Amino acid sequence: MILKINDFGIYVVKFSCEATFTAQPGPEVKNCLVLELHQNTNSSVSIEHQNPFREGGGKQFIDLTSSTKDLPQVSNRLSLSSTRPQGNSAAPRRSSTLRLTTARRRDQQVRWGGASQQPCPPFEQGGRYLRKSVHSCTNQPPLQQGRPATMLVPSDMMTAQSKLLYQLNKFYGERVQARKGTVAKTVREVCKVVQDVLKEVEVQEPRFISSLNDCNGHFEGFDVISPSEFEVVLYLNQMGVFNFVDDGSLPGCAVLKLSDGRKRSMSLWVEFITASGYLSARKIRSRFQTLVAQACDKCSYRDIVKMVADTTEVKLRIRERYVVQITPAFRCSGLWPRSAAHWPIPQILWPNPNLVAEVKAEGFDLLSKESVTLQGKQSSMEGDAWVLNFCEAENRLLQGGCRKKCLSILKTLKDRHLELPGNPVTSYHLKTLLLYECEKHPREIEWDETCLGDRINGILLQLISCLQCRRCPHYFLPQLDLFKGKSASSLENAAKQTWRLTRELLTNPRSLEKL
C-alpha cells in the first residue's frame, strides 16, 4: 500500500500489518520521504514534519490516525494491527520498529529521533552505520499511542520516481488527452466516409454487409494505427461449412477448408473456393477491392476519397490526409488456434485462470490481408491463407490498473519522437511489449498508478533490447517476428532514438514538459 500526503509530501510503503489509507495529492508540501513501517503493537502513529517551505518555517504536526486540517482530503484512517510469527498464534508480541528509507544526495543528512529528545544523528549499530539509505530507531522505546516521532527532511528530497509520476500525469492530462481528442474527431470523420462507401458496396454485393456500427462512440472493428492511419475490419458471414486448419506451416496464418466437398454449393462464398477446397483470402479480397473502387466513384464523398493504387490491399485515401485499410475477415469466437496453445506459459503468474478463460472464449479473427511472414515463401497456400489477429483478446488482457494509460502515453511518445523512416516502431510493437511487461509484473499492485513510471521505463528498455536484437516476438505467436521486413539500419536508428528518449525520462523527468 502507498500513502501520499499532499504534493509529494510523504509516502508510506510495505506495511507488515493490515493498513488502509488514501490521500490525494495537493499543492502544499514540497518534501518527500519514503517510510517502511513495521508496527507490531496496536497503536496509533503520529509524525512531526519539519517543512522549510511552510510559513514561518515551523513544524507541521501530522496525525496519521485522524483527518486534520493538514490532511483535508484524507478519506480513510490508518489502521495498524499486531502481527505474530506465521504458524505460532501463541508467540509474544514483538517490539515496534520504524525504518526510514530515503533518497538523498551524499551531502544531505536525515536526522530523527523520539519526541522527548532533540533530533539525533543516524543510529549507529555495532560501531557501524547502517546503509546510507536506511536508518533504524530500534534503540527507541516501542511506539505508543499519542507519542510522535520527529523527522527533519531536506527540501529537495523528492524521489525521482515521484517526480516522474507527477510529470507523467501532467503529460497525460495535456499531451495524451489532446492526442485522444484529435484522434476521436478524425475517427468520426473517417467513419462517415467509410460507412458511405460500404453502403454502396452492399448495394452492389449484399454478401459484403457493413459491420462498422457506432456503439456509444465506439466503432466495432475500427483500429487506430496512428493519428493518420486506420484499419476497418469488415466481418463476413457464414464460415460454418469450413474447418479451421492451423498446422504451423504458415507462421501467423491459417486456412479455411471445406469440411465436406459435397457442401461446396452450400457455401455463400462458393466462387472463392479453390479446386483443393480452400476458401481463398486473396480471391475474396480481389473481389472486394473491385467493389470498393466502384463504390468510391458513386458515394456522396467521391470528391474527397480515392483508392490507393499499387497494392493488393483495400486502402482509401481521404482528404489526402488519412489512409484507411478495409480488411474482410471472419470472427472465430470460442476457438483457440493450435499455434497459440502454449499460452499461457504455466510458470507465469499472469494472467489468472479466469482471465485466461475469458480471453480464449473471446477467440480471434482471420483477416484477408498480406502477411510479411509469407513473403518469399514458395507455398501454394500463400494467397489462400488468412492472417491470425488477436486484437480483442489483447484488449481484454489490458483492462485494469494503469495498463491502458501506460499504452496511451507510449503511443503519444511514439508519435512525437519515434516516427522514423521505414516505420520501425509501431503502436502494435508497444502494445506487444506492454503484454510482456504484464507477465514480468504479474501482481495487480504493480499496475497501480504509482508504478506508472517504472512500467513505462521498463517497456522502453524492452523496446531498445528488441531493436538491438532485431527481433520482437508476437505475444501469442512468439515464433512470429514483428520486425520481419524492417531494415537493419531503420531498427538501429530506432534503438538510438529510443535510448535518447528513455535516458531523458530516467535522468530528467521534467524533460516531459518539452517532449
Please write the tens of the pLDDT for every residue from 362-401.
999 999 998 877 665 555 666 799 999 999 999 999 999 9
Asked whether the predicted pLDDT for residue 119 surpasses 70, the reply is: no
Average pLDDT, the chain: 74
| Angle subtended by helix axes 160-171 and 452-469, to nearest 10 | 90
The whole-number pLDDT of residue 181 equals: 96
Q: How far apart are CA 86 and CA 93, in angstroms?
A: 12
- Per-residue DSSP letter, 274: -
Q: Report the pLDDT value the prediction gives residue 380, as an integer from 0 to 100.
A: 60
Q: Which long-range contacts (CB under 8 A, 24 or more apart) does 393-397 make?
A: 393/359, 393/360, 393/362, 393/363, 393/364, 393/476, 394/431, 394/435, 394/475, 396/355, 396/358, 396/359, 396/362, 397/351, 397/355, 397/359, 397/435, 397/438
- 417 Cβ contact list (under 8 Å, min separation 6): 497, 501, 515
Closest CA to 115 of 52, 47, 66: 47
pLDDT for 248 equals 81
pLDDT higher than threshold 90 for residue 286: yes
Beta-carbon neighbour count of residue 176 at 10 Å? 19
Residue 259: the pLDDT is 83
What distance separates the 2 farthest-apart alpha carbons in the chain? 94
What's the mean pLDDT in 435-457?
A: 95
172 pLDDT more than 70: yes
In this prediction, residue 160 carries a pLDDT of 64
Concatenating the DSSP letter of every residue in 185-238 gives: HHHHHHHHHHHHHHHHHHHH-TTS-----EETTEETTEEEEETTEEEEEEE-S-
- CATH-assigned architecture of domain 184-397: 2-Layer Sandwich (3.30)
| C-alpha dihedral, 292 to 294 to 297 to 299, nearest 10° | -60
Residue 242, pLDDT score: 87
Helix or strand (DSSP H, E) at 326: strand 322-332
Q: Does the pTM exceed 0.85? A: no
pLDDT at 490 over 80: yes
8 Å CB contact between 44 and 145 = yes
Taking Cα atoms as reference points, which of 507, 171, 27 lies closest to residue 4?
Answer: 27
Q: What is the pLDDT of residue 378?
A: 54
User: Cis (ω within 30 of 0) for the bond into 442?
Assistant: no
- Residue 14 or residue 319, greater confidence: 319
pLDDT classification of 81: cutoffs 50, 70, 90:
very low
CATH of 400-514, one of 1.10.287.130, 3.40.640.10, 1.10.1410.40, 3.40.50.300: 1.10.1410.40
239: confidence class by pLDDT, cuts 50, 70, 90 = low
Q: 400: which 3 cell numbers? A: 485494469
Say which DSSP state 345 is in.
Answer: P
pLDDT digits (tens, 9 = 90+) for 408-432: 999 999 999 999 999 999 999 999 9
Please report the pLDDT score of residue 220 as a whole number.
Answer: 85
Domains 184-397 and 400-514 share a fold: no
Out of 152-161, 253-262, 362-371, the most confident range is: 362-371
Bigger pLDDT: 377 vs 487: 487
| Domain range summary for the chain, segments of one domain joined by + | 184-397, 400-514
φ/ψ of 151, rounded to 5, equals: -135, 135
Rounded CA-CA distance 472/470 in Å is 7
Output the pLDDT for position 34.
30
Other beta carbons within 10 Å of 235? 16
Lowest average pLDDT, out of 219-223, 238-242, 460-464, goes to: 238-242
In 337-376, which ranges are continuous DSSP H helix?
353-362
